[in-house]
Structure 1
Amino acid sequence: YNRIEKAGLRIIAAKMVHLTEEQASGFYAEHEGKEFFQPLKEFMTSGPIMVQVLEGENAIARYRELMGKTNPEEAAAGTLRADYALSMRHNSVHGSDSPESAARE
């Protein structure tokens, strides 16, 4: 939480959830049909996840910068993915890429 707050964002809601297959399909709908879609859904439904709602100026862009590149090997030092991701598929965090995605997710 400290990194998020240091990035100028506020966590206004947080909860642990265990996604169903249907929820995971909706969450990653833009990836349907891609080869990694099914393995991604399996991973995302394999255990509980922490869901957060963030607030702040340019929140989406700021959080995406804090996350780092999807491929942890390309993520800048000090980003969440550089520090915590195991692989591209198990990259430790997800952040909405638009207000529309955030509303859907």
Structure 2
Amino acid sequence: MEKTLVLIKPDAFEAHHVGDIIKMYEGIGLRIAAMKLLQMDERLASIHYAEHIGRPYYEPLVSFMTSGPIVAMVLMGEDAIHRVRELHGKTNPAEAADGTIRKLYATDGRKNAVHASDSPESANREIHIFFNETEIYD
């Protein structure tokens, strides 16, 4: 069973889409192995987005991600990373396929409702930024 990290971003939280988004993950057969509500601070953002430090979009990204609550989750299931990214759709909601989370709930390329790990290596690193082993139920 593969695991992946998902973040429901401040824009989706503020718009009251958390329940609908979680239902979509469960609807494709993924299981929630961990979940918490938190507010990302600059320190946590700098760890999570370490590879983006120094890029022109880093400061606006951190400002957005620290602007309100997020829901962090570990989802698990067969081929979870690929399936979640497919369900999310393209980063730009205008290019996302109908029925994807970003087509339904994102407003632009930054306020795009959700984040997901892009590889098993990223998933392992990202999961452990937000959760310790005792918080993950598999």
TM range (shorter): over 0.9
Aligned to 1:20: 41
Secondary structure, counterpart of 2:114 in structure 1: coil
Secondary structure, counterpart of 2:74 in structure 1: strand
4+ residue runs over 4 A deviation: none
d(CA) in 2 for partners of 1:102, 1:32: 19
Q: Which structure ranks higher in relative contact order (CA pairs < 8 Å, sequence separation ≥ 6)?
A: 2
Q: Larger % of strand: which? A: 2
d(CA) in 2 for partners of 1:102, 1:20: 20
Q: CA deviation at 1:104?
A: 2.1
Aligned to 1:8: 29
Aligned to 1:77: 98
| Residue correspondences, number | 105
Aligned to 2:89: 68
Given candidates 74, 99, 103, the residue that maps to 2:120 is 99
Whether 1:53 and 2:53 are equivalent positions in the alignment is no
Question: Identical aligned pairs, as a percentage?
Answer: 57
Task: Give the stretch that moved more between structures: 18-27 or 64-73.
Answer: 18-27
Aligned to 2:18: none
Superposed CA RMSD: 1.0
d(CA) in 2 for partners of 1:53, 1:71: 23
d(CA) in 1 for partners of 2:47, 2:41: 10
d(CA) in 1 for partners of 2:106, 2:113: 5
Where structure 2 has 5 or more consecutive residues not aligned to the other structure, the ranges are 1-21, 127-138
Where structure 1 has 5 or more consecutive residues not aligned to the other structure, the ranges are none
Task: Give the stretch that moved more between structures: 54-63 or 7-16.
Answer: 7-16
